[in-house]
A = this chain, B = another copy of it.
Amino acid sequence: MRNICLTLAYDGTDYVGWQIQPNGVSVQSVVETAIQKLTGEKVRLMAAGRTDSGVHALGQVAAFPTNSDISCKKIKDGLIHFLPEDVTVRDVKEVAAKFHPTYSAKQKRYRYVIYNSRDPEPFLRKYVWHFWQELDVAAMHEAGQVLLGKHDFRCFESHFPNKATSVRTIKELTVGRFSGWPIWNQFGALSNEAQPDANGKFICLDIVADGFLYNMVRAITGTLLKVGQGRWSKEHVKNIVKQQDRSQAGETAPPQGLYLVKVDYEP
């Protein structure tokens, strides 16, 4: 039995999210269907992160067991052929039997993109959170630094308790302004368009952690937004974490600005 690992990118707009749901089409189901068309086998696909409805992925990682002997190159081409246009395969490789996309992950990287401009932008509505008010990005970044390290993050967890533990370690959290479209360059497929720019209209919140609670990045975004508006201080954010109460933190930012960028595994 081979264990096949896929790196996937998808536009989450038209999906109920990664996981199979009764109320619509999931990314998991369309990938499983493509695998079945290709290999003839009905598989259960496991993923590194269960992205929500409307959330996008640039580097989701998923794995499935197979008895097929189709080469990785042909699995890639075949799945691309069978997948709808809004889901694609970036990479296919064979991994050890014990590899599990969730449990083997060392860390995950998410990016949340705010389009911070008074001008509406029809072409971005499904790919950013359009926020009109001016935001103090330096203050957002500064306040974000209190979240670094190992903490109980249940203050940012929707529907606590979902997990055995709400303790996670945030390894990196940066908030910056960019000019240029800050998404597709992540693929490596296009050139690097996004340049740090104090007057840029895109605000990117980049977070790397060993794991994420349900809606954690979106709740952190909603919280740091209040700091950007000048309504909350860095100390206030520190207290929110201490109080361990979701109702004290900011609102959950909308899904369309969120991208699962990358999942790292031990080499």
CB <8 Å contact, B11 and A189: no
Q: A189-B201, A197-B191, A201-B190 are contacts. A121–B184 as well, Cβ < 8 Å? A: yes
Q: With contacts A189-B117, A189-B201 known, is A122 near B181, CB below 8 A?
A: no
Question: Is A196 interfacial (CB-CB < 8 Å)?
Answer: no
In the bound complex, residues from chain B placing their C-beta under 8 Å from that of A127 are: 123
Residues in B with CB closer than 8 Å to A122 are 9-11, 85-88
Q: Are B119 and A189 touching (Cβ within 8 A)?
A: yes
- Choose among A123, A180, A195 the residue with the greatest number of B CB atoms under 10 Å from its CB: A123
The smallest beta-carbon distance between A42 and chain B, in angstroms, is: 25
Closest to A117 in B: B189
A80–B201 Cα gap in the complex (Å)?
19
Instruction: Mark each residue of chain A from 60 to 84: 1 if its CB lies under 8 Å from any CB of chain B, else 0.
Output: 0000000000000000000010000
A125 touches B85 (CB 8 A): yes
Chain B residue with the shortest CB-CB distance to A183: B123
Q: How far is the CA of A9 from the CA of B122 in the complex (A)?
A: 7
CB distance from A201 to the nearest CB of B (A): 7
- Number of this chain's copies in the assembly equals 2
Q: What 0/1 readout, one digit per residue, does chain A (169-194) give for beta carbons within 8 Å of chain B?
A: 00000000001110110010111010
Pairwise interchain contact B85-A120, C-beta atoms closer than 8 A = yes
Chain A contacts with B in 117-156, Cβ cutoff 8 A? 117, 119-125, 127
In the complex, how many angstroms separate the beta carbon of A14 from the nearest chain B beta carbon?
11
Look across to chain B and name the residue whose beta carbon is closest to the beta carbon of A124.
B184
- What residues of B have a CB within 8 angstroms of the CB of A56 in the complex? 123
On chain B, the residues within 8 Å of A86 by CB distance are 122, 125
A190 close to B183 (CB less than 8 A): no
**Contacts A181-B181, A181-B184; is A121 near B193 (CB within 8 Å)?**
no
12 A-B pairs whose Cβ atoms sit less than 8 Å apart in the complex: A10-B122, A11-B122, A56-B123, A80-B120, A88-B120, A88-B122, A119-B187, A121-B184, A179-B190, A179-B191, A180-B193, A190-B201
Known contacts A86-B122, A86-B125; 4 additional CB pairs below 8 A are A85-B125, A88-B120, A88-B121, A179-B190
The 6 closest A-B pairs by CB, nearest first: A179-B191, A88-B120, A85-B125, A11-B122, A86-B122, A193-B193
